[in-house]
Structure 1
């Protein structure tokens, strides 16, 4: 067994010290101005994987893990990326279906390792960069127009199921604002201003590039269809929140209870109630589930192309028109 893998008492102590040093650097990075919430999640994800890798039986650091620079040595990084690519560090099933990690995920890991090495002022050697995957096809213009028309028809006859009501409000918001999933989850009730002739939504953009010094705040006029969809959602949301007397301020909340995955005293997993704030992964899963039904409903519409299961493919097709921005 290689020393530093966390298998013996002394080796475990030094390995953990190296990991803690990396984790401390990651937390400093997360607090830096210009680090977006998405990047902070990625950095913490990589730090967690490095901790798991340091105890993996197939991890080959090539030296004792006494300091962070040992954990970021060429051999250790190569071993970490190999285990990550093979899916050995995952705690959940991978979306690729074969257990391996996607090229996009590998590139994120490499980017985070570079940031961590810069923060610690230690050299980093990486092999050939993972190939950029071909971007998924975005939702075309005619389909977006059909979605807007659909929202307009539902203004007077909205759906009755909370999940469908929320889906239409999310789709309308994305069509008008082009907000990312993380930006959607950050929205609060107070960000929606309906006092004027046209409702205005305030969206705080978090640029992905760290070179951008600060988030950008935009005030965007909403279209009539989106306004109607949001009003129906707010009414439904209020019923969910009032039932549980929760002081939740986020715009998007869960419409049904779900298991948190944490064991309770009776051996069953703890169940979160409806009305909890949606997080990015939860919002994406909720969108995917609901859009399957929407695709079935609109399948017979002339020229309809099924919506993709990833909200990002709708978002990337949207460009906010300058005349919709409130100065």
Structure 2
């Protein structure tokens, strides 16, 4: 085993288990709650990897042994391939760039506290964010939505789209978070909405409930949408609780005995994919209507780009998950 460096001030060489060492690091460094969750997540994977048949250091029993270059390299390779997931994941099981950055940062913290230099080769860089939207554009869009939402005879789909984008602008919520909204999440006077934040790195970040004040434009758009929504759900048996519902018949993704697509009536909860398409349609219309207006910058066609630009809070949330304490 390579010779260890002198321990950091106030620390001892990590000869305890990786879990016990991690708890000591958390206590002595007084890290944030988010970082503590991340450190425990990595420690859990390090304990788990010793049982993996492809891990060549299965006899490593202490934190000091698990933080040696060979063990770290083997651990990161298995983690990147998705071999350490506790629950199966549909599709590509490989780890995301964000989660690999978290692993690298946590390994360095665990080693540094015990005087063990941890070098992580090819540490993943920050994912490149697409161009975002500036403040004036968002402000203009709110005004635009409020005016168009009240237009007599406007199609139900357009009214829904305007209300949806208004809530997205005010909250910075992800598509899945928007799709999860119910009528109970709205204040009676539409002054605010309750959003349950569900960060993508679920293994290191817990869901957080937040009350967000809604802008005048969004309240106007929501008022118009709720009136339309009522007419859509009224014919159904039982009243759907979802805030966002379909405005026209669509297929349920299943076939009947004759092999024909089963149709669902209007008023059914809107799913995340449908919400993505709705956002794109609304942006196409807004970009055309506001083209050439003073200070207008065309909005991006991907929902993710708009969400990332909404508030500094969303940016801080993303940054915390990726890097800093």
Shift of 1:137: 0.9
Q: Is the contact made by 1:177 and 1:320 (CA closer than 8 Å) also made in structure 2?
A: no
Q: Which has the higher contact order (CA 8 A, sep 6+)?
A: 2
Quick one: distance in 2 between partners of 1:174 and 1:215?
Answer: 18
Alignment TM-score, normalising by the size of structure 1: 0.56
Match of 1:191 in 2: 185
2:96 matched to 1:108? yes
Shift of residue 129, structure 1, vs aligned partner: 7.6
Which residue pairs with 1:233 in the alignment?
225
| Structure 1: runs of 5 or more not aligned | 1-33, 35-66, 82-88, 91-100, 116-126, 322-327
Give the C-alpha shift of residue 213 in structure 1. 5.7
CA distance in 2, matches of 1:159, 1:294: 18
Cα-to-partner distance string for 1:272-299 (whole Å, 9 max, x where unaligned): 2222112222211222233223322222
* Structure 2 CA distance for partners of 1:263 and 1:173, relative to 1, 3 Å: same
Quick one: distance in 2 between partners of 1:222 and 1:182?
A: 19
Matches within 5 A, 1:52-67: none
For 2:209, the equivalent position in structure 1 comes to: 217
Q: Tell me how far 1:188 sits from its aligned partner.
A: 0.5
Question: Residues 99 and 201 of structure 2 are in contact (CA less than 8 Å); yes or no, is this contact kept in structure 1?
Answer: no
Instruction: Give 1:281-300 correspondences, 5 Å limit.
Output: 281-300=273-292
C-alpha displacement at 1:311, in angstroms? 1.4
Question: Aligned with 1:244: secondary structure?
Answer: coil
Distance 1:164 1:155, change over 3 A: closer
Matched residue, 1:143:
137
Q: Structure 2 vs 1, CA of residues 111 and 221 (structure 1 numbering), >3 Å: closer, same or farther?
A: closer
**Residue 268 of structure 1, aligned match among 240, 260, 272:** 260
User: Given the two structures, how large is their TM-score scaled by the length of structure 2?
Assistant: 0.57
Q: Return 215-224 or 201-210, whichever deviates more.
A: 201-210
List runs of 5+ in structure 2 lacking aligned partners: 1-36, 38-50, 55-73, 83-89, 104-120, 314-325
- Superposed displacement of residue 185, structure 1: 0.9
CA shift, 1:304, in A, is 2.6
Give the whole-Å Cα distance in 2 for the aligned partners of 1:230 and 1:294.
17
2:266 maps to 1:278 = no
Two-structure CA RMSD over aligned residues (Å): 3.9
- SS of the aligned residue for 2:96 comes to helix
Whole-angstrom CA distance in 1 between matches of 2:191 and 2:274: 27
